[in-house]
Structure 1
Amino acid sequence: MHTPDDPNRYQEVLVSPMYLAGTGGAGDAGFAPVAHWPHHALGDTPCQLLVTSPDHRIRIGWFGDDFELWKINASEDALSAPRWTATFNHVTPPEIIAGLTTALARDYAEADAYDDNAPFLADPSLYWADAVRPLTDAGWTRDGGAEGGTAEIISPDRQAGFLIDNRLSGWDEETVTLWAGPPGWGTRAEAVFTARTPSHLIAATAAVMADSTPVIRERHQIDRRLEHLVTLAPVGPTAGPQVSPAPTPLDVRRTAVTQAVHRATRAPRTAADLRVMAARSRTASSAQSVSSSLAPAAAARPPATSPSPRHGR
């Protein structure tokens, strides 16, 4: 863990595996695929930023102070109850959320307006293996020690997994969990999907976890309890060209979500202990850096208009 006066504290590094890289202090990468959709800043409410498809059938909520940082769902129409819901906790790298939001943006673009057969409303496959194919293709293997009625696929380093719980039968039951990192509120990333989530959307999320491309973080953003599990390489002339283009901290800080981060750090913490702990995990220095880097870009944009613990392992 780097002390506040450590000159390497803010050094940018390439982190692998990506699923242990944490949030990086902002969630911009998760919103990037839907940057062209309507954004609704909800102020001092639990859901501080809501991004919706133009017809409001897809909703992407960012809860800046919560343990469950992202909630994403889709409905047959704007007023219907969600057909399915995906929830991501405060440790989940935003690049993983971007896997889902990218697939949703593509599905929406391919669907006709108000199409009941839109891909993002499709029934899940009868075969759970369809949702995990990106992982098995990448060498993840089935864990023979999973409880009866469940199936689990484990990464080669055994630091991440995909759990399917077939014991639950209700459509609103949370039947699929993607996880990474040791158990603990600050170390384990979790993405949870309800039973009716289309399999191709889960697979798109899983595919990002299977990707071996490193992501960029500042050194202080790596949890000290995970340092021995990740590989860090300084970002420099020799390292840069060897990786696929990925959002840098300067890139990802230029969207509206960082305004919500700025507000969240100044709001009084009056929620339950778990929410307080999650909010404190985003350091004041990181929040200040994010908000200051966003200010010029935010000033240049016209104001947005509005059209209308997870269980431990």
Structure 2
Amino acid sequence: MKAATTHAEAPGVIDGDVYVSPRYLAGTTGSGDVALDPLLALGWDLQHDDLGNVYVHSPERRIRLGYLPEGEDDGLWRINAYKDPFGAPTWGVCFNDMCPTEFVAAFTTALAEAYADGPGAYLAGPVPGHADRDPFLAVEPLINSNWQVGHPRWGVFTAQPADGLAGLEFTSGQLDPAGELDSRDARWQLWAGTSIDRPAWYATASTDTPVALLKALTQCVADPAPLPRWRSATFSYVKGLAELTPILPPSPPVPTPLEIQRASARRPAALTTSSVPRWSTASRPALPGPRR
């Protein structure tokens, strides 16, 4: 069984009591709402089975998403696109059960935008040298965030941050199309942890995954902003490697001059009364008046 929600959350809202930095060490939120919302907002069909797995389809069944907490492996999110709804997938992406949910949401948000543009966008595979579809464009956000590019072995290119606790791996040459969809032997692999062989989380993408979708994912990974999480639900190794900053309650907002003026205008006017003498125990007795 995969990660389950341990804290109540409103749909689409990510909560927590600490900020985790760098964000690629944050791990999953345990809820899929925020990543499902961009596709459900398009009116896509949502179904679920008796185990709690969720399936989302575009109206013509050319894009399919599975959120599989009770799947056969640790592939929690599987997203496939098809030229022919009855044929093999044109491309496929997988996020495992500990991948930060925000990264999945970045991908599904870009996918929703591509779907609005039509098959020419969501089925547009990479083209080396193309202005908008060159594979390098997906790596660019990481390089701009000072990730270092490497070439550790033949046919493999990598990008890693200075702490070495995350990485992107791109494999060149021929790959088995079926193996790209159901294993980690894919064209693209993102991961975090102390080792790519035993990552804390990973995400894979097959050869023909559109570059625009991959770039949306790497931009989210490279974002320097921390992610909110519940301290009790963070990775055990994160507590020693990541920076956990308590989320403080927000300070009361300072009223603007206009707000102060409006508040003053709503106050009732001061009462204007004449002075009326009143008796008290300290008052002098009244002087006797003239006798009638």
TM normalised by structure 1 equals 0.66
Is it true that 1:218 corresponds to 2:230 in the alignment? yes
Q: How does 1:39-118 map onto structure 2 within 5 Å?
A: 39-44=45-50, 48-66=53-71, 67-111=74-118, 115=119, 118=120
Residue 239 of structure 1: how far off its partner (Å): 9.2
Partner of 1:121: 123
Query: Would the aligned equivalents of 1:152 and 1:164 in 2 still touch at CA under 8 Å?
Result: yes
Structure 2: which amino acid aligns with 1:206? T
- The structure in which a higher percent of residues are helix is 1
Query: Would the aligned equivalents of 1:233 and 1:239 in 2 still touch at CA under 8 Å?
Result: no
* Partner Cα separation in structure 2 for residue 22 and residue 138 of structure 1: 20
Structure 1: which amino acid aligns with 2:241? L
Larger Rg, first or second structure (1 or 2): 2
Q: 1:161 aligns with which of 163, 167, 179?
A: 167
TM normalised by structure 2 equals 0.70
Structure 1: which amino acid aligns with 2:121? P
Residue 232 of structure 1: how far off its partner (Å): 1.1
**CA 11–75 in structure 1, closer or farther in 2 if over 3 Å, else same:** closer
Deviation per CA, 1:186-220: give whole Å up to 9, x if none.
85211101111112211111111001111111111
Structure 2: which amino acid aligns with 1:179? W
SS at match of 1:143: strand
Equivalent pairs: percent with the same residue?
A: 33
Structure 2: which amino acid aligns with 1:162? L
Query: Would the aligned equivalents of 1:171 and 1:196 in 2 still touch at CA under 8 Å?
Result: no
**CA 207–129 in structure 1, closer or farther in 2 if over 3 Å, else same:** same
* Partner Cα separation in structure 1 for residue 122 and residue 79 of structure 2: 12
Query: Would the aligned equivalents of 2:165 and 2:195 in 1 still touch at CA under 8 Å?
Result: no
How many corresponding residue pairs? 225
Stretches of structure 1 lacking an aligned partner (at least 5 in a row): 1-9, 242-313
Is it true that 1:142 corresponds to 2:149 in the alignment? yes
Residue 231 of structure 1: how far off its partner (Å): 1.1
Structure 2: which amino acid aligns with 1:224? S
* Partner Cα separation in structure 1 for residue 85 and residue 238 of structure 2: 41
Structure 2: which amino acid aligns with 1:205? L
Structure 2: which amino acid aligns with 1:164? F
Query: Would the aligned equivalents of 1:28 and 1:94 in 2 still touch at CA under 8 Å?
Result: no
Is it true that 1:22 corresponds to 2:24 in the alignment? no
Query: Would the aligned equivalents of 1:68 and 1:88 in 2 still touch at CA under 8 Å?
Result: yes
Deviates more, 1:67-76 or 1:129-138: 129-138
Structure 2: which amino acid aligns with 1:76? K
**CA 184–150 in structure 1, closer or farther in 2 if over 3 Å, else same:** closer
Query: Would the aligned equivalents of 1:96 and 1:208 in 2 still touch at CA under 8 Å?
Result: yes
* Partner Cα separation in structure 2 for residue 239 and residue 76 of structure 1: 52
* Partner Cα separation in structure 2 for residue 240 and residue 141 of structure 1: 42
* Partner Cα separation in structure 1 for residue 96 and residue 227 of structure 2: 19
Q: 2:201 aligns with which of 186, 189, 196?
A: 189
SS at match of 2:237: helix
* Partner Cα separation in structure 2 for residue 147 and residue 219 of structure 1: 38
Query: Would the aligned equivalents of 1:170 and 1:195 in 2 still touch at CA under 8 Å?
Result: no
* Partner Cα separation in structure 2 for residue 239 and residue 75 of structure 1: 50
SS at match of 1:65: coil
SS at match of 2:146: coil
Residue 11 of structure 1: how far off its partner (Å): 6.4
* Partner Cα separation in structure 1 for residue 200 and residue 173 of structure 2: 23
Structure 2: which amino acid aligns with 1:80? G
* Partner Cα separation in structure 1 for residue 208 and residue 57 of structure 2: 20
Structure showing greater relative contact order (alpha-carbon pairs closer than 8 Å, 6 or more residues apart):
1
CA RMSD of aligned residues (A): 2.5
Query: Would the aligned equivalents of 2:164 and 2:194 in 1 still touch at CA under 8 Å?
Result: no
Is it true that 1:178 corresponds to 2:190 in the alignment? yes
Deviation per CA, 1:33-53: give whole Å up to 9, x if none.
2232324332235x8101122
